[in-house]
Structure 1
Amino acid sequence: MSNRNIADIRKDYQMAELDEATAGGDPFAFFGKWFAEAEAAQAEEVNAMVLATVDLHNKPHARIVLLKGLDEKGFVFFTNYSSAKGLEIESNPFVALVFFWTELERQVRIEGRIEKISEEESDHYFSTRPDGSKIGAWSSPQSQSIPDRSILENNYKQYADQFGNDIPRPPHWGGYRVIPHYIEFWQGRSSRMHDRIVFSEDAMGEWVKTRLAP
């Protein structure tokens, strides 16, 4: 480890500001605007997001997944339903997402309920994946202990030989949609006086916009 003091690592954010008028009234539309700006800024892994779940013992878990779809209902990603995250989602359907685009000094936090998308939607996305990724979905018993990597390599060869170029979607693999009730947009500002604009859903299902202190 370097001799640099971790506590001394800091950055003064000065790129932009965020106000209520700029955020508008539709958090999905504003997210789309920020996402497009992050793409234009060539943000590294622009669709990478932290997914936080809670297990049966109320222990939180987090990992990076990739956003693969956004519509008027929510945020879509794909994974193995039998994985650790899949089992946690099955036991507790409330999750959180975090995007961080350091190139623009921006963060988006999302909280909501999660549900599986339709099999037709999962089939459609799976059909667009490279063949190697399709075989990988069959080959990996995700989150399970394995003695060594040869298990994966042998599984991969077995399924590649079995399916050839006609690779179906595994029944244990598919998509989830996070349906948000809370979306927070964070813009870094100088001296830690950051801008935080929050959209939260009220009892009538309408979005209420507020500003939070940093």
Structure 2
Amino acid sequence: MKLKFIFLFVYLLSASAICQAQSQQVGDLMKSDFEKFYALLKQKEFDKAVNYVSEDYLKAGLFSKEQMKNLLKSNFDNWETLPDLKVTFKDVNVLPPKKLIQNGDKTFGVLEAVMHIEMTITGNYDQEEIETTLSVIEAIGKGRHKVGNVVKKDGSTTLALTDKRLVAGIYNPTSKNVRFAIAEIGLSYTFQKFLPKEIVAEMKTQL
């Protein structure tokens, strides 16, 4: 009887260790694949980047792939329509999910991606105008944006900015691919359609 108990105990320990290792692998894959996704966005390769967007998200939001590609482009490339503003997307720091949720045949997790951005505004602005601009940026970000160094030179002002985004990662074991849905204010109902409630709850501050 004691021998059976020992075998059972060892089996349970082994199974737990295997599950933890598998979870670690999925979490690491989510992190590395989001870094690839972000690299494509930085390089403005939107035709490739859109392939990293969750198809479940597209269906839930009634987006076509072309519409999503244009949305990504408007967020990462549309700044050039403003002649006095240059926006450069720099590095990203990605934290893997703190926990993973198994739902059906898919695994879900929430990543935290801190995007580092440099904004250069052309023109001679006084301190009051710069502070107003900073307050608008932070207000638009609704807690996501944090302004760092501000460097003022003749004819231009450069702002260092971070944008902390929550991202749903969805792992499909059949394809072994990870797809993503980046949180946006006002999309809570859409996210509830395709994500487990635990994941939506974790992202609620940005939905």
**TM over 0.5: same fold?**
no
Between structures 1 and 2, the one with greater helix share: 2
TM-score by length of 1: 0.26
TM-score by length of 2: 0.26
Structure with the bigger RCO (C-alpha within 8 Å, sep 6+) is 1
